[in-house]
Amino acid sequence: MKTLALYSVENIDHLVQPADFSGTTLQSPALSVVNDFKHSEPNMIDAGTAAREALQMMQREHSKLKLVVDSGGELVGLLPVEQLSEQAMMRHIAFGTSRDDIRVADLMRPRERIKALAYQQLQHCSISDVVNTLQSSGEQHCVVIDRENHQIRGVISAQDIARRLKMPLAIQQAPTFLHIFDSLAG
């Protein structure tokens, strides 16, 4: 039996992530940028969680997106951290809701407004195809559904793609009445 040498962790030794080894390009398979729930736990939060608590949790975890679930564990919405902005909170407060009574369910994007890509379709696409789709739809995040098994299989994030590609990725949201109102009010 051998005794192995032990080394000190030096200042020049840096922590790496799987993306550091990927060599991901725009021509890489689209499935390589899916946060696949077959291999990793979904990042979830209960719809009844206080918005203030959700913001603290997401900041602590460095999380940009949570899947919002009901008491049965079913998806009811998406919560990008931007939805927890002071402006979003003030809109609810202006209508008489106490800051402590604002819940994740009040600020999330509801299930019926979530956009999805089919897992089966992504098997035959490149990251470039996904980027083009996200850019043309103005979506920062998209869930991935397995249409054959009726499962929400994963999530794709424009920010994750940009990090993997080591390049900026601009996604412009289509303006809504609320965005126009906010820009005029600001």
Contacts of 50 (CB under 8 A, 6+ apart): 100, 102, 103, 104
Contact yes or no for 146/130 (Cβ under 8 A): no
pLDDT recorded at residue 103: 97
Is 177 contained in some domain? no
Contacts of 95 (CB under 8 A, 6+ apart): none
pTM: 0.80
Domains in the chain: how many in total?
1
pLDDT recorded at residue 68: 98
Structural domain that includes position 159: 27-170
Is 158 contained in some domain? yes
Is 175 contained in some domain? no
Type of residue numbered 117: L
Contact yes or no for 75/43 (Cβ under 8 A): no
Is 37 contained in some domain? yes
- Each residue's pLDDT expressed in tens, for the chain with a length of 186 residues: 988 888 888 888 878 776 666 688 999 999 999 999 999 999 999 999 999 999 999 999 999 999 999 999 999 999 999 999 999 999 999 999 999 999 999 999 999 999 999 999 999 999 999 999 999 999 999 999 999 999 999 999 999 999 888 888 888 766 555 545 544 544
Measured between alpha carbons, how far is 99 from 135 in angstroms, rounded to an integer?
34
CATH number at residue 141: 3.10.580.10
Is 35 contained in some domain? yes
Is 180 contained in some domain? no
pLDDT recorded at residue 22: 64
Is 64 contained in some domain? yes
Which pairing describes strands 116-118 and 35-36: parallel, antiparallel, or unpaired?
unpaired
Is 163 contained in some domain? yes
